[in-house]
Amino acid sequence: MDRGNRRPYRRRYREEPERYKRAFDYDKYAEDEEEYDHAPRRRPRSRPTGPVTAPRHSTRSRRPIQRRRGSAWPSLLLGCFFGILLAVGGGALGLFYLFRMSQGQGLNIGPLPLGPKPFTQEKTVEAPLTAVTALQICNMLGNVSVEVDAQTKKPVIATTKHVQATDEKEAQKKFNDIKIEVLPPDQESKQLTCSKQLKDLGQQPDPNSTLTVNTIIPNSHELLRTTNDSVDITIKLPTTQPGNSNALPLQLNLEAPAGNIHIVGVLGLMRVHGSAGNISIERSVLGNGSKIDTGQGNVTFSGLLEMPFNEQQKEKYHYYITAEKGDVTVSLPESMKNITLDSNVNVGTIQSDFPLRSLTREDEGAHYYGPLNEAAGAPVPVILTLNASTGKVEIRKATEPVGQVIRSGFYFVPG
């Protein structure tokens, strides 16, 4: 081979770096891409014998992947919600506990009582009277029962105090704080808890045979009472026949706003007032002008109504029985004279075993004004008013004898 005709080896490799520089001059390549020719890629003459490793990348050029942060408002709002829920729940539980404690009931969790326990104290006294023509009972909290007993010679008053306390010492203190006054005619109560007195009934009671039973319970007069203590009263009266034949044996003024009232075998002018409780009057005779009413509860009466001596007189006898939220049930003998029934129900019905020809039924209520027992003949000057705001008025025919009235003294013998 002629070595002299060959181009020098060095000269060929001197020009290649310049060509590669021009090919990889990125700034100029960006200005005019078509102006430069790219150098061909150099291929290795032989395959490498060692393992092929991945090219290393510069750590400076790599940037860590940053995760996109979410909003913190949902978590914040959720925490606020649970915080408010716990605060409201804790406050409600605290108020409930305080209310239960104020009512003397405490808070019971399973078999573990957290609060006061019930205690009772019973007492029976005998009033120094052989006859009672006027009786006044004032009991703010508790049940009241009045019964005429032929075996009783003097009025007997049995009382039961109910208190809530943590121990016997506290219970005894509460027993002492509750006052029960049994006052003879010559004494008057300085803290009478009745809203009306006997004189408000329209007749002057006999001062020599008037009995007053009055209970004074602490913290029972406020609009929101703060006690659950109460007193149950049971009074048994002897059978009496006063000398005045124109008057019924008894004038009764009874108030029990928070409790049930039960009256058996009593003749007289009655004013019986309840607020939250039932009233039951059995085998009794209502005197002219009697008023029986309760706020939330039922009223049940079975007995007789006082009738005027002169059935032609212009003055009418009037009786009132009312239940605001509850039923009124009256049982009268089938042989009763033809009185006038005045009844009204705002929401409810009027039902009667006696025929009511002109009963008017409305969408939600009913009302009636007219004779109750036309089969008994001409009407007598007696009006029976039965009202219920929300409930039912029912007039039944008595199936059993409820007693008899002797006109000479209005002496009542229970049947």
pLDDT given for residue 238 in this prediction: 86
pLDDT of residue 143: 97
pLDDT of residue 195: 85
Reported pTM: 0.70
Q: What is the pLDDT of residue 196?
A: 84
DSSP class per residue in 93-154: HHHHHHHHHHTT--EEETTEEES-EEEEEEEEEE-S-S--SEEEEE-SBS-EEEEE-TT-SS
The amino acid at residue 19 is: R
Q: What is the per-residue pLDDT for 378?
A: 86
**DSSP code at position 324:** E
What is the DSSP code string of 227-295? ---EEEEEEEE-----S-TTS-SEEEEEEEEES-EEEES-EEEEEEEEEES-EEEEEEEEPTT-EEEEE
CB 237 within 8 A of CB 148: yes
Q: Per-residue DSSP letters for 368-403?
A: EEEES-GGG-S--SEEEEEEEEEEEEEEEEESS--E
pLDDT tens for the chain, residues 1 to 415: 455 555 555 544 455 555 555 544 555 544 555 554 555 556 555 555 555 555 555 555 555 555 565 566 777 777 787 788 888 887 777 776 666 555 545 555 545 455 689 999 999 999 878 778 899 999 999 999 999 988 888 899 999 999 999 999 999 999 999 999 998 766 777 788 888 887 777 767 777 888 999 999 987 765 556 778 999 999 999 886 444 444 457 899 999 999 999 999 999 999 999 999 999 999 999 999 999 999 999 999 999 999 988 878 888 999 999 999 999 999 999 888 899 999 999 999 999 999 998 899 988 999 999 999 988 888 899 999 999 999 999 999 987 655 444 333 333 434 3
pLDDT value of residue 247:
45
The DSSP annotation for 220-238 comes to -SSSS-----EEEEEEEE-
Structure tokens that stand for 336 in this block: 């009763």
Q: Are 244 and 168 in contact (CB under 8 A)?
A: no
Output the pLDDT for position 7: 54
Neighbours of 275 (CB within 10 A): 16
Q: What is the pLDDT of residue 312?
A: 80
Number of helices followed by number of strands (H, E) in the chain: 4, 23
282 alpha carbon, distance to own chain's centre? 29
